Amino acid sequence: MRIKKHENLSEANINKVIELLDADKPITKKEACGMLNIAYNTTRLTKIIVEHNETMSFRARRKAQNKGKGADPVEIKQTVQMYLDGFNVSDIAKSLYRSPAFIKGIIERLGVPQKLSMTDYDGRRNAILPDQCMAEEFEIGEKVWCIHQNYPAYIQREVRPEEAEARGYKLYLVYTIECTDLSKTFHPNLTFAGKYYPLPTYSLGSLKHLQQYL
């Protein structure tokens, strides 16, 4: 089903519309279309609701089938990759037909750095790396986690290594991985884009313990 930009066909909004249509004093189909921000079309409204209910039923069946089963290697790999790419726990849970608690358990058990909302400035400023991510030095080209930037990055080079002993820590120039789809931009041949930052060791987290999943 093709969705136009202005249409509000989020799962939560469709659920809300269905509840109001089934209420003791139901809304009209015209009002339902208005809530979804679609043109008044009862055939399309019905199709949206039917497809939504089918998706919910299929998800419920898959979750029931997975209940009680441990995470398999594919699920673990997808969880780590999706989480570091910016998907939240609930989105990953829906994708894998698991509960949010199940996904959160994988993330915490493996020591995946916590990705916070970009608007959670206090959380990003006070974020703490998992013990598995702690490291005192990094290799050129190594993929790391920038705790305050809230992005993964690649180590470019060490900055002024001769001053490291006096500083008490090493300083690295990193390039963050902030965009993974540039196919529709002026740089379609690039796989990601980001920014350069000079960052101290204590602001960087190792991802070596997650290498088999990346």
pLDDT tens-digit readout, 6-44: 889 988 999 999 999 999 999 999 999 999 999 999 999
Are the C-beta atoms of residues 96 and 103 closer than 8 Å to each other? Answer: yes
Confidence of residue 208 (pLDDT cuts 50, 70, 90): very high
Confidence of residue 183 (pLDDT cuts 50, 70, 90): low
- What are the CA-CA distances from residue 10 to residues 101, 132, 166 (Å)? 22, 37, 54
Mean pLDDT in residue range 172-177: 93
* Confidence at residue 187, expressed as pLDDT on a 0 to 100 scale: 44
Assigned token pair, 14: 């469709």
Mean pLDDT in residue range 117-128: 76
Going by C-beta distance under 8 Å and a sequence separation of 6 or more, which residues neighbour residue 186?
none
Are the C-beta atoms of residues 172 and 142 closer than 8 Å to each other? Answer: no
Which of the two residues, 21 and 68, has the higher pLDDT score? 21
Tell me if the pTM is above 0.75: no
